[in-house]
């Protein structure tokens, strides 16, 4: 009797284990590619939800449909103008065809990483350093298009590839700093020369206006004296032209016999 109980318990345990091995629960973002006797079932992929498998006959491969973040290792690149740089990037991709991702490539994640690395080196080698630094968005679009075309047969969709960091040799950084400084000095000189040109043009116009009305010269002179008197100075030397006194009626006192010559 005791032996029969043990045998029954063993049979029940085997049955439970058998049934449990045939049950697969898939989350919303998971799919299962089911192989039945080595062949993909026609209704693959399965899920999400509860999936019942035939023990010893069916074998399931889970596939995650969420977007995967892939860090592309740093790559040594020689640009088109023969500048060695070190570039790393990040790629975002997802599986859109689970059957192709399982049956057409082995370990699609590693394969996508290798494709991204080789494409990064070959593409950046066709651009000069200035383009790599200034036109990064367009280069990212080129990288994404090339890698996506190569991974499409695997059921993998590459949505974004971003160049994250570009390391430039120290000598090149110093040369770029000198170039930027020289460019800033050139712009400053151009702006200064432009300002002097505009100022001289305005002074020429002002001189023409003052020449048309001589009294305006004297008024401007008096205004200048008022501005100088507001300064905190102990001594102010004020040159007064004789012509100015003619407007105040004092020129006759400073002349000899009315001959127009100053005393």
Tell me the DSSP string of 36-91: ETTEE-TTPSB-SEEEE--TTTEEEEEEE-S-EEEEEEEEEEE-TTS-EEEEEEEE
Please report, for the chain, how many H helices and E strands are present, in that order: 8, 8
* Residues 43 and 94 reside in one and the same domain: no
* Residues 238 and 161 reside in one and the same domain: no
* Residues 18 and 104 reside in one and the same domain: no
User: Domain of 139: which CATH number?
Assistant: 3.30.479.30
187 domain-assigned: no
Q: Would you state the pLDDT for residue 204?
A: 80
9 domain-assigned: yes
* Residues 122 and 141 reside in one and the same domain: yes
Write out the chain's pLDDT in tens, 263 residues.
Answer: 677 777 777 777 776 777 677 888 899 999 999 999 889 998 889 889 888 888 888 889 999 999 999 999 898 888 888 888 999 999 999 999 999 999 999 899 999 999 999 999 899 989 888 888 888 899 999 999 999 999 999 999 999 999 988 888 777 767 777 777 787 888 888 888 888 888 888 878 777 776 776 666 666 766 776 766 666 655 666 666 665 555 555 444 545 545 545 44
* Residues 38 and 113 reside in one and the same domain: no
Residues paired with residue 68 on neighbouring β-strands, in sequence order: 93
Q: Would you state the pLDDT for residue 113?
A: 92
* Residue that terminates a domain, selected from 151, 172, 193: 172
50 domain-assigned: yes
Pairing of β 156-167 and β 30-36: unpaired
Q: How far from 211 is each of 62, 119, 204, 207, 215, CA to CA, in Å? A: 93, 73, 11, 6, 9
190 domain-assigned: no
User: How many domains, the chain?
Assistant: 3
* Residues 143 and 226 reside in one and the same domain: no
Q: Would you state the pLDDT for residue 14?
A: 74
39 domain-assigned: yes
Q: Are 82 and 59 in contact (CB under 8 A)?
A: no
Rounded Cα distance, 59 and 63, in Å: 13
Q: Would you state the pLDDT for residue 251?
A: 47
* Residues 75 and 39 reside in one and the same domain: no
SS3 state of residue 24: strand
Q: Would you state the pLDDT for residue 263?
A: 44
178 domain-assigned: no
Q: Would you state the pLDDT for residue 102?
A: 93
Q: Are 150 and 108 in contact (CB under 8 A)?
A: no
* Residues 48 and 73 reside in one and the same domain: no
Structural domain harbouring 31 = 2-63
Q: Are 152 and 107 in contact (CB under 8 A)?
A: no
* Residues 92 and 48 reside in one and the same domain: no
* Residues 140 and 234 reside in one and the same domain: no
165 domain-assigned: yes
* Residues 150 and 243 reside in one and the same domain: no
* Residue that terminates a domain, selected from 42, 63, 84: 63
Q: Would you state the pLDDT for residue 64?
A: 93
Q: Tell me the CA end-to-end span of the chain in Å, nearest whole number.
A: 153
* Residues 107 and 156 reside in one and the same domain: yes
């Amino acid at each position: 009797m005791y032996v029969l109980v043990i045998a029954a318990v063993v049979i029940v345990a085997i049955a439970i284990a058998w049934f449990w091995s045939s049950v697969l629960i898939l989350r919303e973002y998971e799919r299962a590619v089911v192989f039945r006797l080595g062949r993909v079932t026609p209704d693959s992929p399965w899920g999400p939800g509860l999936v019942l498998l035939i023990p010893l006959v069916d074998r399931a491969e889970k596939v995650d449909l969420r977007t995967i973040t892939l860090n592309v290792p740093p790559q040594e690149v020689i640009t088109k103008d023969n500048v060695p740089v070190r570039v790393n990037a990040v790629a975002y991709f997802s599986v859109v065809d689970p059957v192709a991702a399982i049956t057409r490539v082995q370990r699609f994640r590693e394969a996508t990483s290798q494709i991204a690395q080789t494409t990064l080196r070959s593409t950046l080698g066709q651009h000069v350093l200035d383009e790599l630094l200034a036109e990064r968005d367009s280069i990212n679009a080129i990288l994404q298009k090339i890698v996506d075309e190569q991974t499409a047969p695997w059921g993998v969709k590459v949505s974004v590839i971003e160049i994250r960091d570009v390391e430039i040799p120290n000598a090149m950084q110093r040369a770029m700093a000198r170039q930027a400084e020289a460019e800033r000095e050139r712009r400053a000189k151009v702006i200064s020369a432009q300002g002097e040109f505009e100022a001289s043009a305005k002074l020429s116009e002002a001189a023409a206006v003052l020449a048309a009305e001589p009294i305006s010269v004297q008024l401007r002179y008096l205004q200048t004296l008022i501005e100088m008197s507001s300064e905190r100075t102990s001594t102010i030397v004020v040159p007064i032209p004789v012509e100015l006194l003619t407007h105040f009626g004092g020129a006759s006192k400073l002349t000899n016999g009315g001959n127009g010559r100053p005393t």
